[in-house]
Amino acid sequence: MPKTTTQMADHFSLAHFLGGLEGFTPPTGPFDPSGSWRHGYHMLMSVGKVTRQGMLIVERTPLADGTARLQVECTKRASGGTQRYVARLLCGANALSGPISWELETYLLDTEGKAIADIRLEETGRAVDGGLEVSTGGKTRRLVIPGAFTLHWSLLDAVQRLPGDDGAPLSFTLIDRLNCQAKPGHILAFAEEATIELGGRPVWDEQKQELEAGTLYRPVQRRLGAVATNLRCYEQTGTGILPTFYWVDERGELLVVSSGLIAYIHAGEGGT
Amino acid sequence: MPEHCRSTPRDARAITRREFVKAGALGLGAMAAGPGAPAVHAQRPPNLLLILCDQMNLDAMSALGQTHLRTPNLDRLAARGVTFIQSHSTNPVCSPARSSVLTGRMPVETGVIHNDLPIRPDLPNLGQWLGDRGGYETVYCGKWHLPQGYAPPGLAGFRVLPTGGGQGAGDDGFVSRSCEAYLRNRSMNSGPFLMVASFMQPHDICYWMIHPETLVPERLPLRHIADRLPELPPNHASRPPGPQRIGNGYAGFKMALQWRYYLYCYYRMVEMLDADVGRVLDALQETGQAENTVVVFTSDHGEGAGRHGNVQKWHPYDESMKVPMLWSCPGQVAEGLRDGTHLVSGLDVMSTFCDYASIGAPDGVKGRSLRPLLEGRQVTWRDHLVCEWKEQGRIVRTERYKYVMVEDDPAEQLFDMQADPWEMNNRVAEPALAGTVAEHRRLLAEWNSRMDPALAAG
């Protein structure tokens, strides 16, 4: 597939989030998608204007047997509090980073930062033959899933190791947000390579044009400080999600995920 | 009404007015002997769970034959209870419709005649009434929009589980998690609860046109979904003459493929909602509380979904006006019944909850308890329903016809909903139907005389 050069505004998966990428600087330096890393992502919402909703932090630790641990922390502002997920996943050595087991805590913090006692949940889960087994508060339920399955958090890791356009689409069932609700019929496939000018801020410039009648100066918008970045895009479609786009740089680092009104934008290690 | 909402699905038993009369004549005990009928009444007042969503079409669920999406959790609610097909929004926009669900009053009475207004303070909401009179523990989580977007701390009548600040894709997962946590952590020795789990989806579709210029076919991710795009509805190009405020369809999409992709995305949003509903239902089930919880699932209003070339809501057509309404409670609500006859609306939630809580409804409510219908008892039901639209607009729905007017516009509409369920042929000017039009005008005048308008009441 030929590589194209484009502005963010020209790609419909990114156009909604221009405002959220102002000042964005693509990461540089060595990166090993199969190694240890920690990524922070701003959670953006676009409803005409782009707002930051919270932060997602994913930290990967490879294990000797080819599996990996993923620690996921999701924090989102709420009206009158803060919502948090903390998940510790053991992911398989497969293309989807499918879950072997996990522990999940979800809780609400009040305005003073204290956890609201009766709105806290602890959950454990594991892959079993033909599906998942999930335990919450002493109750265990089983979800039958034919074929491959994975979690949306696992995919944030997995897409970084996917091949380019020579890779076959992956088919699977999605367990979204660890909610024990199977969403079948998913396909994750390479979509395109592109050089996209990421970040920067919009400025108006003039474009000079010589005409018979004289010189014409046309106003044109440019993005000051934007960085042309070579990216691979993977697209995911299936039940229960909007088409989702994963933008990965040449080193394999996941920079942007966009899905409808939501995007996750790389924010270093997520310390802010 | 689209055909798929009129046919009988494999897993549900349609019920007609005649069946209800027959069931009532035989008595509830006889009904209970049959499959799917309620069996016993619980001694303790049941818990009450209102699952409210935003902008969902009546027929956007696989239980009603829609083949372009998968809604296993809504389907199981339908299989366990009663699905109303003649279910209407009192006013097809968020705040007004929600004010009716929460008070049992019409928007003109609550004062919420358009978005972002508060409910008239002298009208009790569900939480205030059931908490004070019924001793219920009352909890609210999610979208509020009366006027604050999400339920604010200190909301009258409810303990609020904090959430919100965004839209459905970002927040509904937290709403379902918080509701799940509350249900799993509460003591089984506690008194009954009233929970409102208020989801945003599939309202996110409202923002799908932020950049319609980018939704051109060559940029859409169609490689793997091209064969899954819904076809356009049969009334997509229909623009029946009528009041100007109805509008003339959405012009942002120039090509059928853009519309079909829009519909594809809308149905994915309904599936997101379905998963979150499933989480709440699972928690109810696994903690043993489902056996004594009356659950109602409904929406504030529908979605244009390309019908009459429309997106979003506000229209007097069924795509905006009709909403899902599913009721269930093992042993107390008949199972697997589809009621295609009785005219119901969000007005009826307050009265029905009060009935199950064994307390009277607040004075002046305009809704009725659906409990007799849910239990298959014989009852004389309303023969018409009045809804509002765009502040000054009104709709009178009778068994066969829908009459549409707006106060400052002489143009009217009359649709024969049996012969023309897609509302494509306005027959208001037909001399043979002059009497029908006059009768609907009379019904509206009578209805208006019974209103207690918020403005007139000061």
pLDDT value at residue A212 = 81
In the predicted model, is pLDDT for residue B261 greater than 80?
Answer: yes
**Distance in Å from the first CA to the final CA of chain A:** 37
pLDDT higher than 70, residue B117: yes
Residue B171 near residue B145 (C-beta atoms within 8 A):
no
pLDDT in tens, B326-363: 999 999 999 999 999 999 999 999 999 999 999 999 99
Worst-scoring range by mean pLDDT, A7-16, A108-117, A236-245, B148-157?
A7-16
**Helix (H, G, I), strand (E, B), or coil: what is residue B299?**
strand
List chain A residues with CB under 8 Å of B178. Answer: 83, 108, 119
Whether B34 shows a pLDDT value over 60: the answer reads no
Query: Which of A52, A75, A76 best probes binding to B when mutated, by most B CB atoms within 10 angstroms?
Result: A76
- Are the Cβ atoms of B214 and A12 closer than 8 angstroms? yes
Report residue B269: phi and psi, to 5°.
-65, -40
Other beta carbons less than 10 A from residue B156's beta carbon = 11
Nearest CA in chain B to A181: B275
Contact between A255 and A26 (Cβ < 8 Å) = yes
Lowest mean pLDDT among A210-214, B82-86, B102-106, B107-111: A210-214
Q: Which residues sit opposite B47 in a β-bridge?
A: B293
* CA-to-CA dists, residue B242 to A147, B16, B313, B395, angstroms: 53, 32, 17, 13
Please tell me if residue B420 touches chain A, with a CB cutoff of 8 Å. Answer: no
Cβ atoms < 10 Å from Cβ of B383? 9
Which has more confidence, B400 or A204? B400
**Chain A contacts of B162, Cβ < 8 Å?**
78-83, 108, 110, 116
Nearest to B55 by CA among B125, B115, B130: B115
Nearest neighbour of B271 by CB, restricted to A12, A240, A262 = A240
Q: For residue B279, which residues of chain A lie inside 8 Å, CB to CB?
A: 179-181
Can you tell me the distance from the alpha carbon of B414 to that of B125, in angstroms, rounded to the nearest whole number? 34
> Among residues B82, B119, B115, B85, which one has the least CA distance to residue B101?
B119
* CA distance linking residue A141 with residue B108, whole number of Å: 47
- B182 touching chain A per CB within 8 A: yes
From residue B197, alpha-carbon distances to A224, B124, B178 in Å are 45, 19, 9
Q: Looking at the predicted structure, is the pLDDT value of residue A213 above 70?
A: yes
pLDDT higher than threshold 70 for residue B31? no
pLDDT at residue B289 tops 70:
yes
Q: What is the DSSP string of chain A?
A: ---EEEEGGGSTTTGGGGGGGTT-----S---TTS-EEEEEEEEEEESEEEEEEEEEEEEEE-TTS-EEEEEEEEEEEBTEEEEEEEEEEE-SSTT--EEEEEEEEEEE-TTSPBPGGG-EEEEEEEETTEEEEEETTEEEEEE--S-EEEHHHHHHHGGG--STTSPPEEEEEEGGG-S-EEEEEEEEEEEEEEEEES-EEEEEEEEEEETTEEEEEEEEEEET-EEEEEEEEEEE-TTS--EEEEEETTS-EEEEEETTEEEEEBTBS--
Average of per-residue pLDDT across A225-242: 93
Give the pLDDT confidence score for residue B47 in this predicted structure.
98
Helix, strand and coil in chain B, % to nearest 5: 35, 15, 50
- Asked if B147 reaches chain A (Cβ–Cβ under 8 Å), the answer is no
A19 or B3: which carries more pLDDT confidence?
Answer: A19
Residue B220 and residue A12: Cβ atoms within 8 Å? yes
Cβ–Cβ gap A262/B169 under 8 Å: yes
DSSP state of B220: S
For residues B87-95, give the mean pLDDT. 98
Does the structure show a pLDDT above 90 at A2?
no
Contacts of A243 in chain B (CB under 8 A): 221, 225, 265
Instruction: Enumerate the β-bridge partners of residue A102.
Output: A89, A125
pLDDT digits (tens, 9 = 90+) for B222-237: 889 999 999 999 999 9
Q: Residue B117 corresponds to which amino acid?
A: L
Average pLDDT, chain B: 90
Quickly state the pLDDT bin for A4 (edges 50, 70, 90): low
Amino acid, res. B436:
T
Q: Report the C-alpha gap between A236 and A246 in whole angstroms.
A: 8
Residue of B nearest to A44 (CA): B170
| Across B69-74, average pLDDT | 97
Using an 8 Å CB-CB cutoff, list chain A residues near B274. Answer: 181, 240
Residues 6+ apart with CB under 8 A from A212: none
pLDDT of residue B274: 98
Q: Mutate which of B141, B174, B182, B284 to disrupt the A interface (most A C-beta within 10 Å)?
A: B174
What is the Cα–Cα distance from A72 to B179, expressed in whole angstroms?
A: 22
**Phi, psi (degrees; rounded to nearest 5) at A114:** -95, 140
On whether the CB atoms of residues B273 and B435 are closer than 8 A, the answer is no
The C-alpha atoms of residue A212 and residue B368 are separated, in whole angstroms, by: 78
Q: B269 at the A interface (CB within 8 A)?
A: yes
* Residues ≥6 apart with Cβ < 8 Å to B172: B142, B199, B200, B201, B272, B273, B276
Question: Coil, helix or strand for B397?
Answer: strand
Q: How far is CA B270 from CA A241, B201, B450, in A?
A: 10, 7, 37
Q: How confident is the model at residue B458 (pLDDT cuts 50, 70, 90)?
A: very low
A183 φ/ψ sector (left φ>0, alpha ψ -120 to 50, else beta): beta
Contact B149 A79 (CB under 8 A): yes
Measure the CA–CA gap between A188 and A253, rounded to whole angstroms. Answer: 17
Task: Dump the DSSP string for B338-357.
Answer: EE-S--EETTHHHHHHHHHT
pLDDT of residue B127: 98
| Option in B152, B165, B275 nearest A77 (CB) | B165
Q: Where are the beta strands (DSSP E) in B61-115?
A: 81-84, 87-88
Q: Residue B24 pLDDT > 60, yes or no?
A: no
Residues B245, B393: Cα–Cα separation, whole Å: 9
Domains parsed from chain B with CATH numbers? 3-208+255-382 (3.40.720.10), 388-457 (3.30.1120.10)
For residue A13, the model assigns a pLDDT of 87
For residue B180, pLDDT over 60 is answered with: yes
Amino acid B23 reads A
User: Which residues on chain B are in Cβ contact (under 8 Å) with A118?
Assistant: 181-182, 185-186
**Cβ <8 Å between B282 and A77:** no
Nearest CA in chain B to A260: B208
Residue B393 to chain A, least CA–CA distance (Å): 29
| pLDDT interval class at A210 (50, 70, 90) | confident
Vertex B275 angle, CA B269 and B279, to 5°: 145
Q: Where are the beta strands (DSSP E) in B114-214?
A: 137-142, 159-160, 193-198
Q: What is the structure's pLDDT at B35? A: 42
* DSSP type of residue B427: -
Q: Summarize pLDDT for B411-430 with one digit per residue, the tens.
A: 999 999 999 999 999 999 99
Q: Averaged over A118-128, what is the pLDDT? A: 94
A261 contacts in chain B (CB < 8 Å): 167, 169-170, 204, 207
Contacts of B148 in chain A (CB under 8 A): 79
pLDDT value at position A211? 82
Q: A79 and B174: CB-CB below 8 Å?
A: no
Chosen for mutation from A79, A176, A262 (greatest number of chain B CBs closer than 10 Å) is A79
Q: What is the pLDDT of residue A218?
A: 78
Residue A14 has pLDDT above 80, yes or no: yes
Distance from CA of B273 to the nearest CA of A (A): 8
CB atoms within 10 A of CB B214: 16
The 10 Å CB-count burial string (b at 16+, else e) for B87-125 is bbbbbbbbbbbbbbbbbbbbbbbbbbbeeebebbeebbb
User: Is A108–B161 a contact, with Cβ atoms under 8 angstroms apart?
Assistant: yes
What value does the CA radius of gyration of chain A take, rounded to a whole number of Å?
21
Contact predicate B219/B387, CB 8 Å = no
Q: How far apart are CA B110 and CA B104, in angstroms?
A: 9
Q: Check A46 against B207: CB less than 8 A apart.
A: yes
Nearest CA in chain A to B185: A118
CB contact under 8 A, A180 and B279: yes
Percent of chain A with pLDDT over 90: 65
- What is the DSSP pairing of strand A170-175 with strand A149-151? parallel
**Which of these ranges, B12-26, B59-73, B404-418, has the smallest mean pLDDT?**
B12-26
pLDDT cut 70: percent of chain A above it: 97
The answer to whether A119 contacts B150, with C-beta atoms less than 8 Å apart, is: no
Contact B15, B338 (CB under 8 A): yes
User: Mean per-residue pLDDT for B237-260?
Assistant: 92
- Nearest-by-CA chain A residue for B73: A181
**Contacts of residue A239 in chain B, CB cutoff 8 Å?**
69-70, 268, 271
Residues of chain B found within 8 Å of residue A180, distances taken between Cβ atoms: 279, 282
What's the complex ipTM? Answer: 0.92
Nearest one of B117, B101, B50 to B366, comparing CA atoms: B101
Nearest alpha-carbon partner for B308 in B298, B319, B296, B300: B319
Tell me: pLDDT of B54 over 50. yes
Judged on CB neighbours under 10 Å (0-12, 13-18, 19+), B419 is exposed
- Indicate yes or no: CB of B185 within 8 angstroms of CB of A119: yes
Of B161, B219, B221, the CB nearest to A237: B221
